[in-house]
């Protein structure tokens, strides 16, 4: 069964605007972790942000923030003030006990920032 | 601080040849992971080690694949014999402690098997 769903295969955003990338997850565990990674065209996987299921505050890292809605099982990534260098594929991932804490990745969303 | 180091970055080989991919995890990290990324299957975990011991190799596709971690600073993923369907990007990642910790990825090795 799909544990991580990213419904947006591709998105365009204007430079300096904000963009929200959707991620929904499926788990019956109470304790789990959610991650976002960025993969630019050069291919490396870059860790962006982490949210624990018990964290009361939404995680933020610079221009990245995670809109965590536990009841809806969603963990959307918000990139504020988009820059050309934000053009990349973005992956949502989750680790939970039912999967032996192994990371499950979504299919990814491609973001293209336009000047 | 040096991140995860992988070599080679690109490998082109012919079907039937042995391929060895190498990884140096971040110093002090105790867990190491090997992933494979393809367009069709996305990112798949092949195997992970904790304190140099293989913990879960359920993702290793078949006996042609093997992985070792002889010490805390080095791991290899070997494919013998290689097949065209093994063409993919292979990532190594490491994390500080247990599997639940944040994983940091290397730059990947792009393998092409002709």
CA distance B87 to chain A (A): 15
Of the residues B6, B33, B43, the best mutation for testing chain A's interface (the one with the most A CB atoms within 10 Å of its CB) is B43
B23 versus A2: which is more confidently predicted? B23
Give the Cα separation of B88 and B5 in Å (integer). 18
- The pLDDT mean for chain A works out to 94
pLDDT band at B100 (very low <50, low <70, confident <90, very high): low
**Is there a cis peptide before residue B8, judged by omega within 30 degrees of 0?**
yes
Interface of A with B (CB under 8 A): 33, 35, 37, 42-47, 50, 91, 95, 100-103, 105, 107-108
Give the Cα separation of A1 and A94 in Å (integer). 14
Give the Cα separation of B28 and B2 in Å (integer). 11
CA distance A35 to chain B (A): 8
Task: Note whether A27 and A34 are within 8 A (CB).
Answer: no
Q: pLDDT tens, B18-50? A: 999 999 999 999 999 999 999 999 999 999 999
Task: Note whether A68 and A59 are within 8 A (CB).
Answer: yes
- Taking contacts as CB-CB distances below 8 angstroms, the residues of chain A near B107 are 42-44
Among chain B residues, the shortest Cα distance to A38 is held by B105
- Taking contacts as CB-CB distances below 8 angstroms, the residues of chain B near A107 are 42
């Amino acid at each position: 069964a799909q544990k991580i769903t990213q419904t947006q295969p591709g998105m365009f955003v204007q430079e300096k605007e904000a963009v929200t990338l959707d991620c929904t997850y499926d788990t019956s565990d109470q304790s789990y972790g959610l991650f976002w990674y960025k993969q630019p065209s050069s291919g490396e996987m870059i860790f962006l942000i982490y949210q624990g299921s018990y964290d009361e505050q939404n995680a933020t890292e610079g221009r990245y923030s995670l809109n965590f809605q536990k009841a809806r099982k969603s963990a959307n990534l918000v990139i504020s003030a988009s820059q050309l260098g934000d053009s990349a594929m973005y992956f949502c991932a989750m680790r939970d006990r039912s999967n032996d804490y192994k990371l499950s990745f979504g299919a990814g969303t491609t973001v293209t920032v336009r000047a | 601080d040096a991140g995860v180091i992988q070599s080679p970055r690109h490998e082109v080989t012919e079907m039937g040849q042995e391929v060895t991919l190498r990884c140096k995890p971040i110093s002090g990290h105790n867990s190491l992971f090997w992933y494979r990324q393809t367009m069709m299957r996305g990112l798949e975990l092949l195997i992970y080690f904790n304190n140099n011991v293989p913990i879960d190799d359920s993702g290793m596709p078949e006996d042609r694949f093997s992985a070792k971690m002889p010490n805390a600073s080095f791991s290899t993923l070997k494919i013998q014999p290689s097949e065209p369907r093994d063409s993919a990007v292979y990532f190594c990642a490491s994390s500080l402690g247990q599997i639940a910790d944040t994983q940091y990825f290397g730059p990947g090795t792009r393998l092409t098997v002709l």
